[in-house]
Amino acid sequence: MLELYNGSLNVEEILSRWYREYKDKNFGAFINFVGIVREENQIDGLSFDIYEPLLKNWFSSWQERAKKRGALVLMAHSIGDVLVHQSSYISAVLSPKRRVALSLIDEFVEDFKANAPIWKYDLVGGKRVYAKDRSLKLPNSGILSSRG
């Protein structure tokens, strides 16, 4: 399940709903990672663009990967502005086994950081400033460039 929201995430509602929905499905481990916007560099918050078709493909391939290990992945992400101390991102894994859950959440979150087609901007003085220095190039970047 991939959920996209305009603005910040209602973390309490999302975690509670996911827990209620899956607690009777005989997964022994439910692990989730919540990203909260930090107050730093005088930003008012962050803002996000998402390319949904590719994000859905990426998420589906992860669901397949989790399924092979008897597990399930869930994710929620914000589109647009999310202010400091609000949340923009939740990833979760449900698994019968503790070890699988702990390994998968790590791989899932790290792969998300490297490959999910999402662009982040700092909100500074009412403007969106692309967080270029914190962004990562996707695989095979640069193939259309005529430089170098």
Partner 1 sequence: MARVEFLGPIEREPMEVDIKNLKELKDIFKDDEKLQEWLEISAVAVNDTLVSDLDKRIEKEDKISILPPVCGG
Note the residues at the interface with partner 1 (CB under 8 A): 35, 48-51, 53-54, 57, 77, 88-89, 98, 109, 112-121, 130-132, 134-148
Alpha-carbon gap, residue 33 to 147, rounded angstroms: 40
* Contact between 104 and 33 (Cβ < 8 Å): no
* Contact between 47 and 128 (Cβ < 8 Å): yes
Q: Which stretch binds its own copies (CB under 8 A): 20-28, 60-68, 115-123, 132-140?
A: 20-28
Span between the terminal Cα atoms of the chain, in Å: 42
Q: What's 125's DSSP letter? A: T
3-state class of 42 per DSSP? coil
- The binder of 24, among its own copies, partner 1, none, by C-beta within 5 to 8 A per type, is its own copies
Exactly one of 3, 21, 39, 49 binds its own copies (CB under 8 A); which one?
39
Alpha-carbon gap, residue 84 to 31, rounded angstroms: 24
Alpha-carbon gap, residue 135 to 130, rounded angstroms: 9
Q: Which stretch binds its own copies (CB under 8 A): 13-21, 56-64, 69-77, 121-129?
A: 13-21
Alpha-carbon gap, residue 92 to 30, rounded angstroms: 7
Q: Binding of its own copies at residue 16 (CB under 8 A)? A: yes
- Of 3 and 52, the one with the shorter C-beta distance to its own copies is 3
- Of 35 and 81, the one with the shorter C-beta distance to its own copies is 35
Exactly one of 12, 68, 132, 144 binds its own copies (CB under 8 A); which one?
12
| Residue ranges binding its own copies (CB under 8 A) | 11-12, 15-16, 19-20, 23-24, 26-40, 85-87, 96, 98, 101-102, 105-106, 109-110, 113
